[in-house]
Structures are given as C-alpha cells and as structure tokens.
Structure 1
Amino acid sequence: MAQNLSGYHRALDLFEGLVAGVSPDGWDAPSPCAGWTALDVAGHVTGGQHLVQALATGEPLPDVGRDPARFVPDDVLMSWRAARKECAAALTPDALRTPIPFGALGHLPLADYLEAYILEPLVHSWDLAQATHQPSHLDPDLVHHAFATAQVVSAPLRAKGLLAPP
C-alpha cells in the first residue's frame, strides 16, 4: 500500500495556486470542459475533496459532475481551502487503509486510490489555467504519473460517456 501522498498533495497545491490566481471577473470564462466555466471546474475539483472525504468516512458520495459550482457558493478560494482542510482531516491512517471500489480493478486501499486520483486535480489545473489565461506549469513527474493512470482508466470512462475522445 502507498504510504507517501506527496504527489497527491503537490497536485492539490498546483490547483490551489491557480484558484488563487483567478481574477474576480474570471470565473465566468469558458473552460476546455464542454459546457463548463472556470467556476464549474473549480467547483468540480472542490467537490472532489468532498468525494475523497466521503470515501474516507463512509458517507454517501456526492455527484461532483452535476452542478459543480454548488461546491464553491461564495468565495471560491475559501470554499476550496475549507474542503481541502476537511478532507485532509479525514485521511487518517485507518481511512487510508480502507478498501474502496476502483472499477474493474476491484477494491484498492484509499491511499492507493489517491495516487491514481492525482490525474483529476492535475488535468483540471490545466483546464483552469487555460480558462483563466494563467500559465500552466505542470510538474513533469505528476504528468508522467497521471498519464500512466489515464492509460488504465480512460477506456471505461469513455465507455460511460464521462471522457471525450483522445
């Protein structure tokens, strides 16, 4: 089982830096995610912190794809930071050992899932950077790791209509 979540935290740090760099009038900008604004992207990734927290605590999983802006109702950066802090508090050693479903791969300990989850905040960091005209300085090690994860998860996500063609 993975013991080091540094990649996960670096991906979250990258996303947070981009959220902090969005101008107040930048949240309505269209993103590369069809039909989503920069605010929707921020809400989706913030909702992802609620999802990870739910996996850690056994609570019902939120639908982070439906109306994602609801996860960032007022101050986007403060909403993000609060969700991240609450999620981090839920990632206890016991929670990180908890087996969670991971599609065709069966069940994985939450810590291993979080290694694969790097893909989510990393891809949406790029989306947010593009939408808000910020430089996207993606960590090459995280990109390499995320690309490997994408090779495993992309076909099932495309089959469900959750991912566009390559």
Structure 2
Amino acid sequence: MSDPHALYARTAEFAQSVLADIDPGRLDDPSPCAGWDVREATNHLIGGQHYFAACARGQGLEPRADGPPDFTAGDMVAAHRQAAAACAAAFSDEAMTAMLPTVRGEVPGGMLFQVAAMENVLHAWDAGRGAGLSPQVPDDIAEAILGVVGAIAANARGDGDFAEPVEVGDGASMTDRIVALSGRTP
C-alpha cells in the first residue's frame, strides 16, 4: 500500500474493529505490552493519535493539570474515530514533508505518520489480546506495516519502547511476525 493516508485509514479501521470487541469488564486485565493493562494500552492508543496530530500541527501536547483523559470511560470506538480523523487531517502534504517536533526531537513528518499507523496496529493488538481476543491484522495492512515495525523497533530497542524480537517459525502468520518483531510474544 503506497498511499500513506490509505494505509493509515486501514490501520485506524483495524484498531476500531478491535476496540469494538473489547468487553469493558476486561479493561483492568494485563496486556502483552509490559506494565500496561488493557485500559492503559487503549488510552495510549487513542491519546497517541491526538499526540501525533498535535505534532503534525507543530504543537506540543501540553500535559493536563488533571492528568490524561480516560478514553475508556465512554465509547472507545468513537473516541478513536475522532482521534484518527484529527490525525489524518493534520498530516497534510506540508506536514508530511516537514520536520516535526516531538518529545524526542524533530522527526520527518512522513515517518511520524507511519509511526501513528504502526501504533494503531500494535496497541490495538495489545488491548485486544489483553482483553482475551485474538486480533488478526489483515494481510494487506500487515505487509505494509512490517517494515515500519522493523525499522522503528530496531532504532528504539533499549530505551524501553521495544523488547528484543521474539522468534517465530517460518509458517507464522503476518500478525505473529509483526508482534514478534516488536518484541511481543504472539
């Protein structure tokens, strides 16, 4: 999938489909993302899309005095839909070619938009798996996002964002390959 906006839209749809299936009674269950429960993974997923939108607009995301919102307190799908729409709209042609401010310094806009798409996939999987689901990333998304996961994870290992890759067999599904490359156990 060569159109970054089309890929992003597909990853957002995937995330929303997973969120729609999460039983709110499972929000306090642990997720595969070390140290996070399903609620934290979901809040990071949705809040992250707002963060990426703010970066694309050239704005920092000011911490709220009352702490981050709990997107799981209401309609998680609607909350993600709103965040994803804001993110997609913020990544204009200009933002895609600019160097954008992030908490880790300036990042090329096109790369940051790919990270937003990757987060839709990985953290939706985290939340879904923690809630007892078996989310399967559609192959077209998985094939497009695999290289992004590999590049980002390779550069972020050791700073707490990604664990070392997990070995999977040759017959592993695309979902399992993405998850394992990110350091999660499928």
Same fold (TM over 0.5): yes
**2:46 corresponds to:** 46
TM-score after normalising by structure 2? 0.71
Q: Are the structure 2 counterparts of residues 25 and 50 from structure 1 closer, same or farther at C-alpha, using a change threshold of 3 Å?
A: same
Say which SS state the counterpart of residue 159 (structure 1) adopts. coil
Kindly indicate whether the alpha-carbon contact (under 8 Å) linking 1:11 and 1:142 is maintained by their aligned counterparts in 2: yes
Cα distance in 1 for residues equivalent to 2:45 and 2:62: 12
Cα distance in 2 for residues equivalent to 1:56 and 1:117: 11
Cα distance in 2 for residues equivalent to 1:4 and 1:141: 13
148-157 or 22-31: bigger deviation: 148-157
What does 1:128-143 align with in structure 2 at a 5 Å threshold? Answer: 128-143=127-142
Alignment root-mean-square deviation, CA: 2.9
TM-score after normalising by structure 1? 0.78
Cα distance in 2 for residues equivalent to 1:59 and 1:113: 14
What does 1:91-110 align with in structure 2 at a 5 Å threshold? Answer: 91-100=91-100, 107-108=107-108, 110=109
The structural deviation recorded for 1:19 is: 0.9
Aligned-partner residue type, residue 82 of structure 2 = A
Say which SS state the counterpart of residue 100 (structure 1) adopts. strand
Say which SS state the counterpart of residue 73 (structure 2) adopts. coil
Q: Are the structure 2 counterparts of residues 93 and 148 from structure 1 closer, same or farther at C-alpha, using a change threshold of 3 Å?
A: closer
38-47 or 87-96: bigger deviation: 87-96
**1:9 corresponds to:** 9
Cα distance per residue 1:78-105 (max 9 Å; x no partner): 3323322333332333333323379xxx
The structural deviation recorded for 1:154 is: 1.9
**1:157 corresponds to:** 156
The structural deviation recorded for 1:157 is: 0.9
The runs of 4+ residues in structure 1 deviating greater than 3 Å are none
Kindly indicate whether the alpha-carbon contact (under 8 Å) linking 1:38 and 1:128 is maintained by their aligned counterparts in 2: yes
Q: Are the structure 2 counterparts of residues 92 and 153 from structure 1 closer, same or farther at C-alpha, using a change threshold of 3 Å?
A: closer
What does 1:118-137 align with in structure 2 at a 5 Å threshold? Answer: 118-137=117-136
Q: Are the structure 2 counterparts of residues 11 and 119 from structure 1 closer, same or farther at C-alpha, using a change threshold of 3 Å?
A: same
Cα distance per residue 1:5-54 (max 9 Å; x no partner): 11111011100111111122121121101221111111111121112111
Q: How many residues align?
A: 159
Kindly indicate whether the alpha-carbon contact (under 8 Å) linking 1:118 and 1:142 is maintained by their aligned counterparts in 2: no
In structure 1, runs of 5+ residues without a counterpart are none
In structure 2, runs of 5+ residues without a counterpart are 166-186
What does 1:76-87 align with in structure 2 at a 5 Å threshold? Answer: 76-87=76-87
Cα distance per residue 1:107-153 (max 9 Å; x no partner): 52x23432354322112222122112223121123222322123222
